[in-house]
Amino acid sequence: MSAVVLLTLTGLGLAALYFLVASGLSLVFGLADVLNFAHGLFLGVGAYATWWAAANLPGAGSDGFGFVVAVAFGVLAGALVAVLVELVLIRPLYTRTIEQVLVTVGLSLAGVALLQATWGADARPFPRPSWTRDVTGVLGANVPNAGLLLIVAAAVVLGGLLAFLRWTRYGLVIRAGVENREMVTALGIDVRKAFTLVFALGGAAAALAGALGGVYFGTVSPGQGGSLLIFAFIVVVIGGMGSVVGSAYAAVAVGLLQQFVNYYGTSGLGDLCVVGLLAVVLLLRPQGLAGKVATA
Amino acid sequence: MSVEPVLAVEDLSVRIAGLHILQGVSFTVAPTGVTVLLGRNGVGKTTTLRAIVGLTPRNGEVRGTIRMGAQTLLARPTHRLVRGGLGYVPEDRCVFAGLTVAENLRLAERRGTTPAYDKVFALFPELDRRGRQRAGSLSGGQQQMLAIGRVLLNDNRLLLVDEPTKGLAPKVVTEVAEVLERVAESVPVLLVEQNLAVVRRLARDAVVLSAGKVAWTGNAQELLLETALTKSLLGVGSGEVHA
């Protein structure tokens, strides 16, 4: 029983990490039709900015409120880089899909190389509050607090995103734009501002995943974003390209499947099963679980 | 004394994916009443409206001149054209199915102006009653009312309306025609319409397209009286279609 609880909660922790990366990726694709392979860079920026801020930024640190300040700095850095990428590199290429893919793939490779050149290729220990190294007893299972932190953070981000999409003017524009971008412009709305906003939101969520992923894994390394991005793409496709709630469901399915199969089967089989799940969804429901509706 | 047109299209050519859809189309839209754009299927009526409002597909190429008053429209982004008073009701309604009726209307509100909900709800009381209903669950006629209502929330200098009666039941066709008749009392309309009974009821001027070119322009009522001409231009006699 305790093994099932532990696997469920660690699976949900992994799902939370996937969701934080995938939610922004999904909104960017749903609204702007951009397959952003540079999304993992925002995660890397968030992780390294948090790591740097904890040691160097006045008021920031590795514990207590100082850690909150460090994470906030990382999230801000991720959002800022995402906005710059959108404004400088993506915006001139909105009508050119192949060039978009080339630029974002190139940027992701260049970003990893830049992080390596600046801070080295080796994983570095991540500053994290002492309580995140402890475990909490849940129904007889000792669950790592870092995993619980990820679950809570993802739930807050999901709630915040849904509230934003449902109750704000820009949220309305994004939901409409995911359905029919052209018609949004035909109502007199400059949809490019919404593009920038979803990049900022996606960048912030990915950067938060970077910071909390550092807490979860205990280290930060330049390639972390790329490996998580692969599963995030799978989550986006399974969930429905453009759907935040679909991403949440798909992240939970992928996280739990990976954990349980890797534990009860052989290590690595979980990843294979995830690819199998992707194939099944593509065959039976190519539009994904939720289809192309932002809040469905 | 000649009346200045609200819209002047000069030598408009549109190529999409290698197809030369419009080949030097020129016409004007009068500042009052309904000007109807007619023609058989595939002659370029919708392409003309979409070129005017800046919605030619990415792989398309547009040449020529389009003026609304002193403004040149080509090369201006769609959202600016619409904010400048060019209202567009697309073919197939294009309401946002996942949003409620109220959200569809709220989306159409323009910053700095007071949305005319009273006017819209007076024309379409149904929209007021169904505010919380998802637009995707409305009937075709109700969706058309929503598509027109969205545009009427704001002041417009010209309305482009693409096949508003397509696929609707006869009773709803009559309702939509009535609304457009009232709307045209205050704002000029460039209408694409296949239903000649609706054309007969609404249109003062007509522009007929054939194979990407203007084949005929003039008084719409006179055109509809010429059965042979109507049949040769549109493939249907004016007496064959009833409301």
Neighbours of B11 (CB within 10 A): 13
The answer to whether B79 contacts A190, with C-beta atoms less than 8 Å apart, is: yes
Q: Is A294 on the interface with B (CB under 8 A)?
A: yes
pLDDT in tens, A16-51: 999 999 998 998 888 888 889 999 999 999 999 999
Q: Is A175 on the interface with B (CB under 8 A)?
A: yes
Taking the C-alpha atoms of residue B118 and residue B129, their distance in angstroms, rounded to an integer, is: 13
The answer to whether B77 contacts A175, with C-beta atoms less than 8 Å apart, is: no
The token duo for A247 is: 């991403």
Q: Is A97 on the interface with B (CB under 8 A)?
A: no
pLDDT in tens, A62-71: 888 999 999 9
Q: Is A181 on the interface with B (CB under 8 A)?
A: no
Distances (CA, A) of B181 to A219, B33, B174: 69, 8, 10
Single pTM value for the model: 0.87
- Per-domain residue ranges of chain A: 2-223
Is A189 in contact with A251 (CB distance < 8 Å)?
Answer: no
Taking the C-alpha atoms of residue A73 and residue A53, their distance in angstroms, rounded to an integer, is: 7
pLDDT in tens, B67-116: 998 899 998 999 999 999 999 999 988 999 999 999 999 999 988 889 99
The residue with tokens 């694709």 is A29
3-state secondary structure of A183: helix
Among A173, A187, A294, whose Cβ lies nearest the Cβ of B150?
A187
* pLDDT for the residue numbered B243: 34
Q: Is A122 on the interface with B (CB under 8 A)?
A: no
The conformation of residue B5, written as its DSSP 8-state character, comes to P
pLDDT in tens, A72-121: 999 999 999 999 999 999 988 887 889 999 999 999 999 999 999 999 99
Taking the C-alpha atoms of residue B64 and residue B83, their distance in angstroms, rounded to an integer, is: 22
The token duo for B25 is: 């189309």
Taking the C-alpha atoms of residue A168 and residue A175, their distance in angstroms, rounded to an integer, is: 11
Neighbours of A38 (CB within 10 A): 26
Q: Which residues, in sequence order, are bridge partners of residue A254? A: none
Taking the C-alpha atoms of residue A31 and residue A192, their distance in angstroms, rounded to an integer, is: 10
3-state secondary structure of A98: helix
Question: Order of strands, edge to edge, in the sheet holding B213-219?
Answer: B86-89, B158-162, B189-192, B34-38, B203-210, B213-219
Is A211 in contact with A44 (CB distance < 8 Å)?
Answer: no
Taking the C-alpha atoms of residue B163 and residue B166, their distance in angstroms, rounded to an integer, is: 6
Taking the C-alpha atoms of residue A158 and residue B139, their distance in angstroms, rounded to an integer, is: 33
Query: Does pLDDT of A296 surpass 70?
Result: no
* pLDDT for the residue numbered B220: 94
pLDDT in tens, A186-212: 999 999 999 899 999 999 999 999 999
The conformation of residue A179, written as its DSSP 8-state character, comes to H
Nearest CA in chain B to A294: B98
The token duo for A235 is: 């989550």
Query: In chain B, what are the domains?
Result: 7-234 (3.40.50.300)
Q: Give which of A13, A26, A85 is closest to A245, Cα–Cα.
A: A26
Q: Which residues of A touch B79 (CB under 8 A)?
A: 185, 188-191
Angle of the A224-239 helix axis to the A269-284 helix axis, nearest 10: 30
Nearest CA in chain B to A96: B58
Backbone angles phi, psi at B82, to 5 degrees: -65, -45
What residue type is assigned to position A53 of the chain?
Answer: A
The residue with tokens 């969804």 is A281
3-class SS letters over A43-93: HHHHHHHHHHHHHHCCCCCCCHHHHHHHHHHHHHHHHHHHHHHHHHHHHHH
Give, in degrees to the nearest 5, the angle at Cα A263 between A240 and A121: 75
Neighbours of A111 (CB within 10 A): 22
What residue type is assigned to position B118 of the chain?
Answer: D
Among A180, A190, A191, whose Cβ lies nearest the Cβ of B96?
A180
* pLDDT for the residue numbered B238: 54
* pLDDT for the residue numbered B240: 47
Return the number of CB contacts < 8 Å for A and B: 56
Q: To the nearest whole percent, how much of chain A has pLDDT over 90?
A: 76
pLDDT in tens, A207-245: 999 999 999 999 999 988 888 899 999 999 999 988 899
Q: Give which of B92, B237, B184 is closest to A182, Cα–Cα.
A: B92
* pLDDT for the residue numbered A2: 83
* pLDDT for the residue numbered A166: 92
The residue with tokens 């099932």 is A4
What residue type is assigned to position B83 of the chain?
Answer: R
Q: Give which of B221, B55, B231 is closest to A185, Cα–Cα.
A: B55
3-state secondary structure of B59: coil
Is B156 in contact with B43 (CB distance < 8 Å)?
Answer: no
Taking the C-alpha atoms of residue A273 and residue A158, their distance in angstroms, rounded to an integer, is: 26
Is A15 in contact with A258 (CB distance < 8 Å)?
Answer: no
With a cut of 50, which residues of chain B have pLDDT below it?
1, 240-243
Query: Looking at per-residue confidence, does A288 or A103 come out higher?
Result: A103
Nearest CA in chain A to B105: A187
The answer to whether A95 contacts B58, with C-beta atoms less than 8 Å apart, is: yes
The answer to whether B90 contacts A189, with C-beta atoms less than 8 Å apart, is: no
* pLDDT for the residue numbered B241: 44
- Please, which pLDDT band fits residue A160 given cuts at 50, 70 and 90? very high
Query: Looking at per-residue confidence, does A271 or B3 come out higher?
Result: A271
Taking the C-alpha atoms of residue A249 and residue A236, their distance in angstroms, rounded to an integer, is: 10
Beta strands B86-89 and B158-162, pairing class: parallel
